[in-house]
Amino acid sequence: MAGLGGGFSAGEHDGGTAAGADGGAARWAGGRNELGLYAISVAAELVGTGQQNLRLYERKGLLTPERTDGGTRRYSEANLVTLRRIGVLLDEGLNLAGVKLVLELEAANRGLAEDNRGLTEDNRELRADNRGLRKDLKRARGSSQPD
């Protein structure tokens, strides 16, 4: 892998987070996934790369770790997922500009899929309402028909 470990294949990952989105913080029910828990040295070790690579990825806009009041970077679990995704994409031959575009497109795709799920649910509700209205109309027409 191009400097990053983690054992992820392209098909196993959910797509990381978009550059410039929310700093690589995918939402988790408890919020723990978005908390900056790891110093740069620990994050680099966890994903199998050097600290200089993490700084470079930040400069290139691939992710934005949290910062302490003193300016120390703190990486979240979601940042680690994104870093692993970056490694997979680099291993596949993309340069950092290509990686950034892929992360942005994957984030946009996740947003569209979420919108689609919402629209599908809205459509189900509208169809149920429509069935009810049709029944009401049929009853109303039936009671107003002359015998």
pLDDT averaged over 10-residue windows placed end to end, the chain, 147 residues: 43 42 43 83 96 97 95 96 97 97 96 94 92 90 70
**The amino acid at 29:** A
What pLDDT was estimated at residue 11?
40
- Whole-prediction pTM: 0.63
What pLDDT was estimated at residue 115?
93
Give the 3-state secondary structure of residue 31. coil
Q: What are the C-alpha distances in Å from 44 to residues 69, 89, 109?
A: 21, 17, 28
What pLDDT was estimated at residue 19?
44
Q: Which fold has domain 29-140?
A: Multidrug-efflux Transporter Regulator; Chain: A; Domain 2 (1.10.1660)
What pLDDT was estimated at residue 146?
61
Domain boundaries, the chain: 29-140
What pLDDT was estimated at residue 125?
92
